[in-house]
Amino acid sequence: MAAAAMSITVRKIVNRLDMLDMAITFGNLAEILSRDAASATEQIGVETMLAPGMFLFVVAAAAGTRSGDDSVTVRVDSARHEIHVSAGPYHLPATAMMDHHAMVTAGGAGYDTPLDHFDWPVEGWLRGFRLRVIDGHGQPLPREIVHHLIVVNFSRRQLVYPAAERLLGAGAETEDAIVPKTVGIPMSPGMRLGMYVGWHNATGHDLPDVHVELTLLWTPKNQMPRPVSALPIYMDANLTVGGSNTFDVLPGRASKAFEFTLPTGGRLLGVGGHLHDLGVAVQLEDAERDAVLTRVRAKYNKAGAMTGVERRLFAVSGDGLHLKAGHRYRVAGVYQNSTSEPIHGAMAHMVGLFAPDDPARWPTIDSHDPAYQRDLASLQVEVRPDGQVQLVRDKAAVSR
Ligand SMILES: [Cu+2]
């Protein structure tokens, strides 16, 4: 790796290590939602949601090395309505066996590969994905070596934040996530996507020739009835775009909250959340009426360890939870710190799928916005003067 690129990596480790378990969060969410999709569809024939990958990127301790450059290929299967994205080969050194939390705090057990860029090729709606990892002979490798896989959409902004859309993500336990055809994320040809993988090779031996096979399922534009267009939404109690989203919790009961307005109203079809230990709930509140609109609670096992955060699927019971444009809302993380010491590095956020009333009012990207530029920098990409996104890594390679 070029020295310049290496220095970027090291800097980001220091700043951004606490972001890694946001990716883990997403894995949990996607897993839960894909299960729900199956059961809800069985019971009442109603759709649930494609899990959105809404969290910031972290650069881990070392980049996995890849032989070759930008080795991503995209193939469209128009008959099956599938897009096959292949990336690799990656060389993955063996890493120590660690649990997720240890991996987060130690940071040394896994590593992210740089973004692979590709363009979305068709008009339609994204409705799911399947993920496989294989070796050079096409033989399946353990799915768990993918700690997380994230797809960023550089052609669309997040609703609440001036940051690039996190289109989808998968965690180590995420099953393939596919929703019925009545819901989808609207996509157009030429949308600029970036994909990266956080690896965790706990097989005990080096894996020299690893390939990612990501299959994206889409619904064509002429499908009738047309799917409901829904986009990922991410609401964090304490996010600095391109920076940290952690906070401290003093002993006792505490709440960390962020207020926002939306440029368009719309329906939340479902939500999930993320909290750390001693978290109680993430709440979406009407800040003008001081009323809780919805709440996802932390789940604990009998031993008192947090096992995750519940989720709610509004679309199953009706048209979703409607939010109004220009109205003040608040996302709040509630903690009960039963210890006598402050908790450091707490997090709270809610993610979901949002069907806008007026898609034309979805905020557009302002590439001159310093916050947007920080977000891209956290992904190790930057905006060129012509508006195109390019890898910082490429630039480092050029100046080498
Ligand atoms: Cu976290």
pLDDT score for 314: 82
**d(CA 348, ligand 1 centre) in Å:** 7
Report CA(339)–ligand 1 centroid distance (Å): 19
Ligand 1 centroid – CA 276 distance (Å): 6
Residue 104 CA, ligand 1 centroid: distance in Å: 9
With a CB cutoff of 8 Å and minimum separation 6, the contacts of 34 are 51, 174, 175, 176, 177, 178
Domains of the chain (ranges plus CATH)?
3-228 (no CATH), 231-361 (2.60.120.230)
Distance in Å, CA 274 to ligand 1 centroid: 7
- The yes-or-no verdict on residue 63 having pLDDT over 70 is no
Residue bearing the bigger pLDDT, 329 or 244: 329
pLDDT digits (tens, 9 = 90+) for 328-338: 999 999 999 99
pLDDT of 34: 40
Query: 248 CA distance to ligand 1 centroid (A)?
Result: 12
Element (H, E) at 23: helix 20-44
The rounded mean pLDDT for the chain is 78
What's the rounded mean pLDDT across residues 381-400? 56
Ligand 1 centroid – CA 155 distance (Å): 26
Distance 312 CA to ligand 1 centre (A): 20
What is the CA(275)–ligand 1 centre distance, in A?
Answer: 6
- 131 CA to centre of ligand 1 in angstroms: 24
Distance, CA 257 to ligand 1 centroid (Å)?
Answer: 16
Q: Enter the DSSP assignment of 66.
A: E
Encode pLDDT of 127-147 as tens digits: 999 999 999 999 999 988 988
CB 33, CB 270: distance < 8 Å: yes
Q: How far apart are CA 234 and CA 347, in angstroms?
A: 13
Is the model's pLDDT at 104 over the cut of 50? no
Residue 286 has pLDDT above 60, yes or no: yes
H or E element, residue 133: strand 124-135
Query: pLDDT class for 110, splitting at 50, 70, 90?
Result: low
Q: Strand, helix or coil at 215?
A: strand
Q: How far is the CA of 238 from the centre of ligand 1 (A)?
A: 12
**Per-residue model confidence (pLDDT) at position 4:** 34
Is a pLDDT exceeding 60 seen at residue 18? no
CA 277 – ligand 1 centroid, Å: 9
Residues 6+ apart with CB under 8 A from 47: 37, 40, 41, 179, 180, 182, 183, 228, 315
In the chain, % of residues over pLDDT 90: 52
- Confidence class for position 7, pLDDT limits 50, 70, 90: very low
Q: Residue 49's closest CA among 362, 351, 307, 310?
A: 351
More confident residue, 68 or 262: 262
Structure tokens at 82: 């599938």
Ligand 1 center–CA 386 separation, angstroms? 35
What is the reported pLDDT for 392? 65
Confidence of residue 50 (pLDDT cuts 50, 70, 90): very low
Q: Which of 234, 182, 229, 241 lies closest to 348, judged by CA?
A: 234
* Centre of ligand 1 from the C-alpha of residue 56, in Å: 11
Give the pLDDT score at 399: 27
Dist. CA 19 → ligand 1 center (Å): 7
Between residues 213 and 315, the one the model is more confident about: 213
Cα of 65 vs centre of ligand 1, distance in Å, is: 27
The C-alpha atoms of residue 94 and residue 386 are separated, in whole angstroms, by 41
In this structure, how many other beta carbons lie within 10 angstroms of the beta carbon of residue 66?
A: 18
Rounded to the nearest angstrom, the distance between the alpha carbon of 23 and the centre of ligand 1 is 8
Quote the percentage of the chain above a pLDDT of 70: 72
Ligand 1 center to 84 CA (angstroms): 31
Cα of 22 vs centre of ligand 1, distance in Å, is 5
Per the model's pLDDT, the better-predicted residue between 377 and 283 turns out to be 283
Q: In angstroms, what is the span from residue 24 Cα to ligand 1's centroid?
A: 8
DSSP conformational letter for 264: S
Work out the widest C-alpha separation in the chain, in whole angstroms: 61
pLDDT at 86 over 70: yes
> In this predicted structure, which of 157-161, 253-257, 305-309, 342-346 has the lowest mean pLDDT?
305-309
Q: Quick one: pLDDT band at residue 119, thresholds 50, 70, 90?
A: very high
pLDDT surpassing 60 at residue 216: yes
Measured between alpha carbons, how far is 380 from 372 in angstroms, rounded to an integer? 12
Write out the DSSP string of 318-386: SS-EEE-TT--EEEEEEEEE-SSSPEEEE-EEEEEEEEES-GGGSPPP-TT-HHHHHHHHHTTEEE-TT
Instruction: State the pLDDT at residue 317.
Output: 59
Q: What is the pLDDT of residue 56?
A: 25
